[in-house]
Amino acid sequence: MFLLEDFETDIEQRVLLRGKEYYAQGAVHHILPCENNSYRAAVMGSEQYTVSVRLSETGDEVVDFSCDCPYDMGPICKHTVAVLCALRDNPKPSTIREAEVVTSVQQEKVVGL
């Protein structure tokens, strides 16, 4: 387990930088809340990969994570780093998704006027 707030401390620098780049470029898509304080996200790399992250009940610790990419050079890949960045910066992805839907509906109404 490690804290979501400062997960970067034990990650290889190259992997960390690439993951942050993926996050900044918007490669993390569809963060979905699941059971037991878990999240599943699609991350677009050379292919689309699925990352799963489970947080503690308080949401401040990463309890478990996995990615279906072929990376095997360390404990964590750039896709997982990108999702951890997204979860840290947006602790309630479903709320963000709902806000985006509302904004989209509002824009459609304005266009329709």
The sheet carrying 48-55 orders its strands as 2-3, 61-67, 48-55, 38-44, 28-33
pLDDT tens-digit series, residues 14-60: 999 999 999 999 999 989 999 999 999 999 988 999 999 999 999 99
Paired with 38 in beta bridges are: 54
State residue 72's pLDDT score. Answer: 92
Q: What 3-state DSSP class applies to 18?
A: helix
Number of domains in the chain: 1
pTM of the model: 0.80
Show the domain range for 85.
2-112
pLDDT higher than 50, residue 77: yes
* Per-residue confidence (pLDDT) for residue 99, from 0 to 100: 38
Q: Quick one: tokens of 106?
A: 């509002």
CA dist 96 and 99 (Å) reads 5
Q: Would you say 55 and 36 are in contact if contact means Cβ atoms under 8 Å apart?
A: no
Q: Is 101's pLDDT higher than 70?
A: no
